[in-house]
Amino acid sequence: MQTVIRNMMDEKLELQIAPLIDVVFLLLIYFMVTSTLKQPEADLGITLPGMLTQSTTVNMPDEQIIDVLADGRIILNGMDYGNGGSHHLPELEATLIRYRQASAAANNKALITIQGEREAAQERVIDVMNACAGAGIKHVTFGLGDS
Q: pLDDT of 39-90, one tens digit each?
A: 555 555 666 777 666 666 655 557 888 888 888 888 888 888 876 667 788 8
pLDDT at 28: 94
Instruction: List Cβ neighbours of 64 (8 Å cut-off, separation of 6 or more).
Output: 76, 77, 99, 110, 111, 112, 113
**Which residues, listed in sequence order, are joined to residue 144 by a DSSP beta bridge?**
116
Give the helix ranges, DSSP H, for 1-147: 2-10, 17-34, 90-105, 122-135
pLDDT at 21: 92
C-alpha 110/C-alpha 100 separation (Å) is 5
For the ranges 36-45, 53-62, 100-109, 128-137, the maximum mean pLDDT occurs at 128-137
Yes or no: say if 137 and 76 are a contact pair by the CB < 8 Å rule.
no
Task: Choose among 72, 78, 79: nearest CA to 128.
Answer: 72
Q: Looking at per-residue confidence, does 85 or 92 come out higher?
A: 92
Handedness of CA 124, 69, 134, 136 (dihedral sign): negative
Count of other CB atoms within 10 angstroms of residue 62: 13
Distances (CA, A) of 58 to 103, 110, 138: 14, 16, 21
Label residue 116 exposed, middle or buried (CB < 10 Å: 0-12, 13-18, 19+): buried
* Model confidence at 24: pLDDT above 90: yes
65, containing H or E segment: strand 62-68
Share of the chain above pLDDT 90, in %: 7
Domains and CATH numbers, the chain: 62-144 (3.30.420)
